[in-house]
Amino acid sequence: MSETKYVVFQLDKERYGLPIDSVERILPSQAVTKIPKTPKMMLGVFDMRGETIPVLDARQRFGMKEYEDGRNFVVVLSESGRCALKVDVVVGINTYAEEQIDKSHALLDSDDDFMNAIGKEGDTLTVLLDPAAIVPKALRKKVTALAA
């Protein structure tokens, strides 16, 4: 029986998880430098140990209402390069066995492929995300350029 660990964060009362091997670090909210003429979802950039990290608002990425008080940044290694997601709060690390992961759910079939599966732990459900698709297609070139 194989198990996979996920870094779980919340947006409102909803839970989302990223595979732990795709998360470089979890940081408290950082000061962000805004980049002119970028989409609203791209909050700007910040410096992490001499590297420029682009920041995406996870709420806007998932079509949720804005919320200014995100407490954490989750630095993700995506196909577009390293980027940070601003999230409300990181709640911890969950381990899901194969039988706790539902990849067959019809809601996962959409034009935007960032959702991979649903993790089930008792009555608690967590949307499991695909780190390769966490950056929307329209922003991938910009994130790659900023993360270089």
- Give one word for 15, left, alpha or beta, with left for phi > 0 and alpha for psi -120 to 50: beta
**Which residue has 């909210």 as its token pair?**
29
DSSP three-state, residue 129? strand
- Give one word for 16, left, alpha or beta, with left for phi > 0 and alpha for psi -120 to 50: beta
* Residue numbers in the chain where pLDDT is lower than 70: 1, 105-112, 148
Tokens of 81: 């390069």
Q: Which amino acid is at 33?
A: T
Tokens of 91: 């709640």
Give the pLDDT of residue 80.
79
Give the pLDDT of residue 136.
82
Give the pLDDT of residue 134.
85
All structural domains of the chain: 3-147 (2.40.50.180)
Give the pLDDT of residue 91.
96
Instruction: In whole angstroms, give the CA distance from residue 7 to residue 16.
Output: 8
Instruction: In whole angstroms, give the CA distance from residue 67 to residue 58.
Output: 10
